[in-house]
Amino acid sequence: MDTALNFYILTFFDLTLITALLWLAYQSLSTDNIFKAVILFVSFGLLMALAWVRLHAPDVALAEAALGAGLTGPLFLAAYRRMEKLQKKERRLERNDEQENDEQS
């Protein structure tokens, strides 16, 4: 009786977890906003660590929580910030070019 109840609770937990995982992955890959996508990826990584614990892999859970969520997110955000900065510089240069062209014409 007890084990049967346990089984149902665990299966319910599993189903909730994978629904959340798949939903986060879908949202992260389909959103227009890259910042939002990265944040969703970080939360996906944390839930993934929960899944590793559920699957009796504590070593992998530790590594995922520290690397997958803690390090990959900042990596993406730093790259994103650098790209934004480069893009702004590019836009400014283009605007300058256009102004020069206008003046010439």
Partner 1 sequence: MITTLIYSVTGIALFCMGFTALILCSHLLRKILAINFMASGVFLLLITTAYSPDPALLDPVPQAMVLTGIVVSVSTTALALVLACRVQETTGSAVFKRLLPFRKNKGQKD
Partner 2 sequence: MSSHNTYPERKNSLALPVILLTSGLFLLLSYTLLSIEQAGGLAAQVQSALPKSGAESPVTAVLLNFRGYDTLLEVMVLFLSILGAWSIGRASLPQALIKTSTIQISCVRLLIPLMILIAFYLVWQGTRFAGGAFQGGSILAAAGVLLLVSDFPKLIQIHSIHLRLGFILGPVTFILIAFYCIFTNKTFMAYPAAIVSQLLLFIEIACAISIGLTLAALFAGGRPAQESSIAQRKGSTL
* Residues making contact with partner 2 (CB under 8 A): 32-36, 58-59, 61-63, 66-67, 70-71, 74-75, 78-79, 82, 84
Q: 90-100 as b/e, with b when 16 or more CB fall inside 10 Å? A: eeeeeeeeeee
Does 80 contact partner 1 by CB under 8 A?
Answer: yes
What character string, x for contact with partner 1 (CB under 8 A) and - otherwise, covers 60-79? x--xx--xx--xx--xx-xx
Alpha-carbon distances, residue 55 vs 49, 71, 87 (angstroms): 10, 23, 43
Identity of the residue numbered 84: E
Q: Which of 90, 92, 96, 99 binds partner 1 (CB under 8 A)?
A: 90
What is the rounded CA–CA span in Å between residue 71 and residue 78?
11
The residue (of 84 and 100) whose beta carbon lies closer to partner 2 is 84
CB of 86 to partner 1, least distance (A): 5
46 is a contact residue toward partner 1 (CB under 8 A): no
